[in-house]
Amino acid sequence: MTLLRLWLLATAAILTALAIWAFAPVLLFAAAVALGLGAVSAGMIALARRIEARWQRRRPSDNAE
């Protein structure tokens, strides 16, 4: 392997590590926001299903549709 090729690989590895180090906080924040929104959405869906089940138990005549 030539010295030029080693230099290219080392530079690419250093730049990749630097990019990951620089963008990691942003990516972690974006992942945390996505996880939080997913949890809120799952909670709202679960709540809606419980309300719907309770509503159907109260009015069985509406289920004929």
Instruction: Report pLDDT digits (tens) over 31-62.
Output: 999 999 999 999 999 999 999 999 999 876 66
Q: Which two tokens stand for residue 34?
A: 């996505």
pLDDT score, position 61: 65
The residue extents of the domains of the chain are 24-65
Q: What average pLDDT does the chain have?
A: 91
Cα gap 56→43, rounded to integer Å: 20
Q: Which two tokens stand for residue 1?
A: 């392997």
Cα gap 20→13, rounded to integer Å: 11
> CB pairs under 8 A, 24+ apart, for 19-25?
none
Cα gap 32→38, rounded to integer Å: 10
pLDDT band for position 15 (cuts 50, 70, 90): very high
